[in-house]
Structure 1
Amino acid sequence: MTLKQKIDRELNRLMSEWAEGKTQRLDLETDSGRLACEITAVDALACSFDTIDFVSEQTADASIGQLREMAESLSVKLGYLLEPLDVIEVDEQWRIVQLRSRPPHRDDESIGYYELEIRPGQSRLRRYEKHPERPREAIPITVTREVFGRLAEDLCSVVS
């Protein structure tokens, strides 16, 4: 069974057990690590989630150069998201590479952007919204189930 098929099966299970207003966790072991996601809504066509994390022991000792290569690869692969991602920071001391939407989505009231952090052995994607005079806040990411499966496959293939 492919990762997309496993995800679809899990989303169907979560949808059948859904309790309104509750977040449900999707956890899947893959050939190269563990995919975890906080699902905030799911239906037959789409899902919303707070975070998507991928953890892999195979890259636990990755150098900053390898992390940067992963980040560059993901910035190309994830071109189907609302905004393109670009490397904005490389912290050699803590071995973290951070990508953000470039340019971010802007409207009259807020700025919205994706943030992807890649560390040795793990990656995490979130979306934030920033309103004037307020700190940024994490918001759910809503995508079709097909895009969610593709996103999971891309994270797993690059960060492993």
Structure 2
Amino acid sequence: MSLSLDLSAALTPLSGQAFVPPKTVAVSDTSGTSLAIDVIAVESLGVSCEELRLEIASLGAATLDTLKKWANDLCRRVTYLLENLGPLEIDAQGNQILIRSTPPDKSAGGTTKYYEVMLSSLGAGRFSLRRFRYDTTSGQRVAVPLQLTHEQLAKLVNDLVATVPSSP
């Protein structure tokens, strides 16, 4: 089975439930790739979650060039979220790449919402996705739930796995 099918099977019995604190649902495959999602609520049409994380054992020693390739492939492929994604910062010393919404959603009332992705090769190769709201009047950045349909979530997981570089 694929990670997206395994995740769907793990979420199905949780339909109609909400979790405080969020419930972590984790699945893995035989290649050393694991996926975890911090679920807030599961409904018939979608999932609300705090964070989605993917760890790829084979990318533990990935070079910065490998992470750049992953970032670029990921940003080209994931076009169905509320905003497009683009690499923002590259940390050569930390071997990390920060990706954000380009452009972010500038809502009425002085707030900006955006997705934030971190790619890293510290430990295992890591991907994390969160959504934030920045209030320009207070200067506060606050995490907000990711709202994804089941179809979007499956496509996202499949695209994450498909864009993982084959060699570090």
TM-score normalised by the shorter chain: which range applies?
over 0.9
- Quick one: distance in 1 between partners of 2:29 and 2:162? 10
Q: Tell me the residue number matched to 1:26.
A: 25
The DSSP-based 3-state class of the residue aligned with 1:149 is: helix
Give the 3-state SS of the residue equivalent to 2:75 in structure 1.
Answer: helix
Q: Matched residues in 1 for 2:15 and 2:21: separation?
A: 12
SS of alignment partner, residue 136 of structure 1: strand
Matched, 1:136 2:145: no
Amino acid at match of 1:152: V
Cα distance change, pair 6–64 in 1 and its aligned pair in 2 (3 A) = same
> TM-score, length-normalised on structure 2?
0.88
Q: Shift of the alpha carbon at 1:152?
A: 1.3
Cα RMSD, aligned residues only: 1.5
Contact 2:55 2:126 in 1 (8 A): yes
SS of the aligned residue for 1:129 comes to strand
SS of match in other structure, 1:152: helix
Kept in 1: contact 2:19–2:40 (CA 8 A): no
Query: CA offsets per residue over residues 24-81 of structure 1, 9 Å max, x none?
Result: 1110012431001101111111001111000111111110000000000000111111
Q: Name the residue aligned to 1:122.
A: 126
Partner-residue secondary structure (3-state), 2:4? helix
What is the CA-CA distance between 1:5 and the residue it aligns to? Answer: 2.1
Among all aligned residue pairs of Structure 1 and Structure 2, give the percentage whose two residues are the same amino acid: 28
Match of 1:68 in 2: 68
User: Would the alpha carbon gap of residues 91 and 22 (structure 1) be closer, same or farther in structure 2, given more than 3 Å must change?
Assistant: closer
1:49 counterpart residue number:
49
Deviation at 1:2, TM superposition (A): 3.0
C-alpha separation in 1, matches of 2:144 and 2:43: 18
Report if aligned partners of 2:84, 2:101 keep a CA contact under 8 Å in 1. yes
Runs of 4+ in 1 over 6 A off after TM superposition: none
Query: What is the distance in 2 between the residues matched to 1:128 and 1:72?
Result: 22
State the aligned residue count. Answer: 159
What amino acid does structure 2 have at the position aligned with 1:72?
A: N
How high is the TM-score relative to the length of structure 1?
0.93
Residues 54 and 159 in structure 1, CA contact (< 8 A), matched pair in contact too: no
Match of 1:156 in 2: 161
Cα displacement string for residues 102-131 of structure 1 (whole angstroms, at most 9, x for unaligned residues): 100011121000010100111101100011
Alignment match, 1:87? 87
- CA distance in structure 1 between the partners assigned to 2:19 and 2:115 by the alignment: 26
